[in-house]
């Protein structure tokens, strides 16, 4: 049997902080603030910041941010997304392009979680908000810009129709995010989730209800993958980026 080096981690008593995650997966361990006390979030955040180049905590409350700032002074609070971020060195520009498309203003907390995640993972992100199917002309105006992205995240509540419409107009991956926005029969996002899973438009991948983080993370990974020309050769490897005709 081959010997494997032990995975680097730190035991905080209430958490085993995984310092090897960035090497294995390309991004440091992410903190889910929901269900953790402010002190626990701050302890994990500070431990990650001591070893990683960036840290993300999602689903946090202002009290958690206050506790984090006591330990990591340059941490940032993103109120709408309820996220806390920190970077050792601010990334310049970002690479590729991820489009975040949101049906309505009520969906922005989830869309912003996706945006912050993808940005922190090094992607260049463009947002197109309040372009839902009730006023579909707004989507058509944004389409030329959306088509420039390598991958598109589409966030929608209510009946959840927007991802199917977008996927039917694009030749790139669409990551659909159902939100819990809606009235009684939306069942807190279940109606939108079922619509997206049952879409007849090809090229849609669906994440869990309100999971902006999961969508942003997946989109950043797709965006990071090398482009390939029609001959199958990677354009990044040759130093040239070939644009497909729109």
For residue range 217-240, what is the model confidence (pLDDT) as tens digits? 999 999 987 766 555 555 544 344
pLDDT at 92: 54
pLDDT at 244: 46
How many angstroms separate the CA atoms of 104 and 93, rounded?
Answer: 27
pLDDT at 233: 58
| Residue 135 CA: distances (Å) to CA of 102, 104, 209 | 13, 10, 23
Q: What are the phi and psi torsion angles at 95 (to 5°)?
A: -115, 160
Asked whether 94 and 104 are in contact (CB, 8 A), the reply is no
Across-strand partners of 32? Answer: 58
What is the CB neighbour count within 10 angstroms for residue 233? 14
Q: Give all domains of the chain, ordered by start, each with its CATH number.
A: 10-87 (no CATH), 95-224 (3.40.50.1970)
12-51 pLDDT per residue, tens: 999 999 998 988 888 899 999 999 999 999 999 999 999 9
pLDDT at 224: 85
Residues lower than pLDDT 50 in the chain: 1-2, 236-246
pLDDT at 9: 86
**Residues in contact with 25: Cβ distance below 8 Å, sequence separation at least 6, in sequence order:** none
pLDDT at 204: 95
DSSP E strand boundaries for the chain: 9-11, 16-18, 31-32, 54-58, 76-78, 83-87, 95-102, 123-128, 151-156, 174-178, 204-206
């Amino acid at each position: 049997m081959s010997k494997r080096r032990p995975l680097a981690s730190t035991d905080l008593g209430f958490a085993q902080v995984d310092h090897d995650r960035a090497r294995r997966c390309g991004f440091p361990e992410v903190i889910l603030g929901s269900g953790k006390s402010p002190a626990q979030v701050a302890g994990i955040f500070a431990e990650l910041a001591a070893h990683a180049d960036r840290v993300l905590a999602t689903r946090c409350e202002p009290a958690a941010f206050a506790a984090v700032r006591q330990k990591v002074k340059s941490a940032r609070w993103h109120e709408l997304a309820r996220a806390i971020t920190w970077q050792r060195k601010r990334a310049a520009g970002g690479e590729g392009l991820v489009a975040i498309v949101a049906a309505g203003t009520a969906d922005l907390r989830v869309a912003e979680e996706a945006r912050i995640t993808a940005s922190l993972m090094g992607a260049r992100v463009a947002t197109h908000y309040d372009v839902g199917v009730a006023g579909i002309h707004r989507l058509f105006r944004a389409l030329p810009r959306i088509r420039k992205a390598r991958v598109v995240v589409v966030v929608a509540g209510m009946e959840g129709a927007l991802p199917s419409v977008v996927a039917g107009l694009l030749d790139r991956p669409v990551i659909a995010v159902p939100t819990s926005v809606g009235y009684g029969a939306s069942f807190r996002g279940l109606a939108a989730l079922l619509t997206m899973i049952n879409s007849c438009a090809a090229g849609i991948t669906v994440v869990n209800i309100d999971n902006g983080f999961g969508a942003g993370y997946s989109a950043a990974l797709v965006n990071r993958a090398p482009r390939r020309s029609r001959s199958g050769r990677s354009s990044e490897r040759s130093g040239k980026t070939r644009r497909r005709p729109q």
